[in-house]
Amino acid sequence: MPNEIWVLAEHQDGKIKKIVFELLSAAIDFSKKTVQEVAALLLGSGLEEAVKSLTPFADKIYLMEDPVFIPYTSDTYLTGIAPLIKEHQPSILLGGATSTGKDLFPRLAMHLQTGYVPDCTGLSFGENGKLVAKRPLFGGKVFAEIVFSEARPQMATVRNNTFLVNDKPDRTAKVISVSAQIAPSIIKKKVTGFEKAAGAKLDITEADIVVAAGRGIKAPENFKIIEDLAETIHASVGTTRATVDEGWRDLKDQIGKSGKNISAKLYMAFGISGAIHHVLGISTCKTVVAVDTDPNALIFNYADYGIVGDLFQIVPALTEELKRVLASE
Ligand SMILES: Cc1cc2nc3c(=O)[nH]c(=O)nc-3n(C[C@H](O)[C@H](O)[C@H](O)COP(=O)(O)OP(=O)(O)OC[C@H]3O[C@@H](n4cnc5c(N)ncnc54)[C@H](O)[C@@H]3O)c2cc1C
């Protein structure tokens, strides 16, 4: 009987991604209800720090240490992971809905002839301990709850910032080294290098501080004052669907039900009314500051600090004051 929940421990240069700790935290909660062990699946080389950071979050770490896994390619990961899954038959395999997760998981599911739910915004357990994967459909108009009838493992990729990271994880993982059998002939792709997009800032899902403006900003060029504020406090810039639909901002910066979930320590919303579709994406932010001219704007129901006022006066004044304070530190 399969009795392990596995999480793919995706990393960048040996630094484990936050979504991995979120998934392991959720897996620990599930494991208590369903008496399963939690395992991290780690591939790459030079992974001492990665192993150390994963140890309190899992009962086991399946470690495939081999430079062939650097950088990621679906050929090597698929060939490394698939036999291990067949051997151990975990009941669940989870990963982040990242570019790696979105590339690898469908291939793996196809190879294993099992079910896969992409881009989930929630996971729970239903009848007989079966995984229930929740995901938006039709641009977020409806949410589907999907149950895996027979096929195992139950596979899902989950959006960033869906779960809180357990700040007191209490496991002590046993490391199980697995040798990778990767014949050079299976590697059909070669990564020749990485290029950072010009002016790229930290993605809103990873940023500690996010400043965002909605339709209240009135025109795309007015985002300049939001960008100046962001620059001053090393924040990333988010937005609402209203401005994305207007073509003022890119979809990758949209926060909310049909955009991204963020989990910033500080979220500042300017000229954002606080529609439910938007605030669903900020539910794990620690401190929310809102500025809106309408005292009845719904955003104030979710804000820790609110200012009723004109963003065109408040944002430049705030930026100047923050520059002054930061310069004097
Ligand atoms: C299926 C579905 C999915 C959706 N998904 C998303 C999603 O993922 N993310 C999302 O954001 N929305 C989403 N929406 C849209 C959502 O319902 C709202 O329409 C949208 O969030 C509103 O954006 P907004 O707050 O920028 O604009 P508005 O609701 O128009 O609010 C603008 C605010 O600016 C204030 N304002 C105006 N001038 C000023 C000023 N000078 N200074 C300060 N404040 C000012 C106004 O008082 C108002 O409160 C979705 C809708 C549907 C139907």
> Mean pLDDT across the stretch 132-159?
90
Question: Is 1 a residue whose pLDDT tops 70?
Answer: no
CA of 253 to the centre of ligand 1 (A): 14
pLDDT at 2: 57
CA of 315 to the centre of ligand 1 (A): 18
**Rounded to the nearest 10 degrees, how much is the dihedral formed by the CA atoms of 47, 24, 259, 118?**
90
Residue 187 banded pLDDT, cuts 50, 70, 90:
confident
Q: What is the pLDDT of residues 95-137, one digit of tens each?
A: 999 999 999 999 999 999 999 999 999 999 887 778 999 998 8
Burial class (CB in 10 A: 0-12, 13-18, 19+), 153: buried
Residues 6+ apart with CB under 8 A from 29: none
pLDDT at 228: 97
Q: 232 CA to middle of ligand 1, Å?
A: 25
135 by DSSP, 3-state: which?
strand
pLDDT > 80? residue 271: yes
Which atom of ligand 1 is least distant from the CA of 273?
Answer: 49
Nearest CA to ligand 1 atom 36: 216
Give the pLDDT confidence score for residue 3 in this predicted structure: 84
Q: What pTM, to 2 d.p., does this model score? A: 0.79
Which pLDDT belongs to residue 13? 86
**Helix pair 99-112, 74-88: axis angle to 10 deg:** 50
| Domain assignments of the chain as residue spans, ordered by start | 4-186, 209-327
Atom of ligand 1 nearest to the CA of 215: 26
**Given a cut of 90, is residue 317 above it in pLDDT?**
yes
pLDDT value at 151 more than 60: yes
Q: Which residue minimizes the CA distance to atom 30 of ligand 1?
A: 215
CATH topology classification for 209-327: Rossmann fold (3.40.50)
> What fold characterizes domain 4-186?
Rossmann fold (3.40.50)
Distance of alpha carbon 179 from the chain centroid: 29
Residue in the structure block whose two tokens are 């979809």: 251
Nearest CA among 326, 329, 327, 320 for reference residue 229:
320
Q: Which residues line ligand 1 (CB under 6 A)?
A: 139-141, 214-216, 240-242, 254-259, 271-273, 275, 277-278, 291-294, 297, 310-312
Most ligand 1 atoms within 8 A of CB, residue of 278, 300, 310 to mutate: 278
Whose Cα sits closest to atom 29 in ligand 1?
A: 273
For position 180, what pLDDT does the model report? 87
pLDDT computed for residue 299 by the predictor: 98
**Taking all residues of the chain, what is their mean pLDDT, rounded to a whole number?**
93
Tens of pLDDT, residue by residue over 61-73, are 999 999 999 999 9
Taking the C-alpha atoms of residue 321 and residue 229, their distance in angstroms, rounded to an integer, is 10
Q: How would residue 150 be classed by pLDDT, with cut points 50, 70 and 90?
A: confident
Asked whether this chain's domains 4-186 and 209-327 adopt the same fold, the reply is yes
Cα–Cα nearest to 23, from 169, 162, 175: 162
d(CA 8, CA 62) in angstroms, rounded, equals 10
